[in-house]
Structure 1
Amino acid sequence: MMPYTPSYYVKLLERSGFSMARDLLAWEFPTTVHEDPRLLRAAARLNRNQKLTVRPINLRRFDEEAELVRTLYNAAHGAN
């Protein structure tokens, strides 16, 4: 779900005076990710840490969940 950018764009942008500010990483998980024991263990560790809660999205409350994702995204990227 990330846009594809051809590698020659880097030179075009640098020649225009732009420079990289930060790396942007993306991960793609299969739709069966909820069954992956490694990810379940990682989520359990994060939940025990109490600084982060990992939970599935409740599609019955889609509008509220989408608003929460928007709020979290904006808070995390406010300084970008």
Structure 2
Amino acid sequence: MAIPSLPRGRTVANVGRDIGRMIRMAMAIGKAGALVLFIARRPGPLQATAEHLSALAMDLRETLGALTRSQAEACGSA
């Protein structure tokens, strides 16, 4: 079994922190999605808030996906 090497200047602790940060961000996105569903069931002004939060959650999800892809590319090209 081959042991993957880390990119230059990276340590196991750095990679572990990055993974932990991405997991926390993904959990936050999930919680934001639950909040959007809760607010979406309410009428009136909260509906507009739900739409704004939904758009924000989608932006965060896209950003997280881009970050994950760039991390994977950086690890794969080293």
TM range (shorter): 0.3 to 0.5
Q: Which has the higher helix share?
A: 2
